[in-house]
Amino acid sequence: MSSHGNASSANDPRQPAAAKPYVAPAVAPQDLPIDYAGFIAVIFGVAGVMFRYKLCSWIALIFCAESLCNMRNIETDLKQVTMAIMFSIMGLVTNYFGPQRPSKQS
């Protein structure tokens, strides 16, 4: 132990005086990872509105809730989540309260 000298004792993490608090590096908003739950919510919300699939609208609403819970950047993620919520609610309203689909007759 004496062969390492004084240099190793200054960098020893077991010494409380040498411990430094962790500071997270600053990341630019455009460099943040993609919010996959929000993206999937938008896709299912659009499919629910366009193709009038109730299941897609419900799945979009579930992914919206997941995206809200895991939101990292409030400014950029909130825009995507609100758009996905609007699509999913619009799909649910048009599916349940809109005009019925014409039934196929053979």
pLDDT tens-digit profile of 26-44?
878 777 778 899 999 999 9
How many structural domains comprise the chain? 1
Verdict on whether the full-model pTM lies above 0.85: no
Residue 20 lies in a domain: no
Residue 5 lies in a domain: no
Assess contact for 32 and 72: CB atoms under 8 A: yes
Residue 46 lies in a domain: yes
- The residue range of the domain holding 55 is 34-95
Higher per-residue pLDDT: 5 or 45: 45
Residue 76 lies in a domain: yes
Residue that has been written with the tokens 């599916």 in this structure:
95
d(CA 74, CA 32): 12
Q: What is the pLDDT of residue 7?
A: 56
